[in-house]
Amino acid sequence: MKKILVIYSSQTGQMSDVLQSLCADIKEKASIDFFKIELESPFPFPWKDYDTFFDAMPESVLGIPQAIKPLAIPDAAGYDLVILGYQPWFLSPSVPFNSFLQSEYAAVLKGKPVVTVIACRNMWLRAQEKVKESLISLGATLVGNIALDDKHPNIASTMSIVRWMIHGQKEASDKYPEAGVSTGDIKDARRFGPTILRALEQGQLDTLQAQLLEQDAIPLRPNLIVMEGNGARQFPKWAANTIKQGKAGDPARKKMLKKFKVTLFIAIFILSPVSGGLARLKTLLTKKKTAEDLAYFRQVAFVPGKI
């Protein structure tokens, strides 16, 4: 029986649900151990106010870790495959997940094949490039990636995620849809488990990503590559300028973070109908480059500087 180690972070429980679903049809056929990453000082959920939420931006973007609670993983060497479940925060691996990657516990990944599972709103490309880089330096091999997102239009998904993050309501309301990955998509994630286990048992991990793509593991929309690219160029500048004002929680950062929030909301709520249209136009005018980008972000190799 193959041994699979699942390590994940989840604030709201969404990633826990995705992973439970993914493993539903293989839990009797493989030995699967789950470990949840917990920060020593966790972020609140619901976040309740924007100040606390946006204060997580600089450390997320700059990849500054925090202390995590010990992960008592027995017989680390005995696992055949590791599944890592995480979520992007501000186009970067979330602080809890990044803190794991930079901790002593990440040594368990050395020499292991890894499948990443992402559950997010709709922008995960920069985060995954950072994770790919970390996996290489940890001596792990990325063999698969599944990225589940919110399929609603950008503004609707932003409104519903704000409602979810600040007030804790994921379910649809009168005005806005269910936030994050839909209940249906979470349920359907169970189709990936048997594919992963079969590839592991038959020694076909080198073709696993192609098999996962046949099951629509990465429903990536081309205009989102352009739109995330715009954010990916700006966020590190905002993060660097904010951190100059003080460390996490320092009231001296508030002014800069407020400017970031206003700029982000203007970009999403006022400019995105136009910038989204321009992004779509750009993908049509540069069809070859768009096809190359789509192909790149759907696979598992790492080439520096792609976003």
Sites of contact with ligand FMN (CB under 6 A): 10-15, 53, 56, 87-91, 119-124, 165, 180
Least CB distance from residue 104 to ligand FMN, whole Å? 23
Least CB distance from residue 86 to ligand FMN, whole Å? 8
CA 86 to chain centre: 5
Which is nearer to ligand FMN, 42 or 139 (by Cβ)?
42
Least CB distance from residue 207 to ligand FMN, whole Å? 28
Which is nearer to ligand FMN, 90 or 192 (by Cβ)?
90
CA 122 to chain centre: 9
Least CB distance from residue 1 to ligand FMN, whole Å? 28
Which is nearer to ligand FMN, 128 or 205 (by Cβ)?
128
Amino acid at 175: K
Which is nearer to ligand FMN, 194 or 236 (by Cβ)?
236
Which is nearer to ligand FMN, 232 or 300 (by Cβ)?
232
Angle among Cα 156, 158, 163 to the nearest 5 degrees reads: 95
Least CB distance from residue 96 to ligand FMN, whole Å? 8
**Spatial CB neighbours of 12, under 8 Å, sequence gap ≥ 6:** 45, 164, 170, 180
Least CB distance from residue 198 to ligand FMN, whole Å? 26
Least CB distance from residue 128 to ligand FMN, whole Å? 11
Which is nearer to ligand FMN, 158 or 195 (by Cβ)?
158
Which is nearer to ligand FMN, 5 or 268 (by Cβ)?
268
Packing angle of the helix pair 272-285, 154-167 (nearest 10 deg): 130
Q: Is the separation of the CB atoms in 40 and 67 below 8 Å?
A: yes
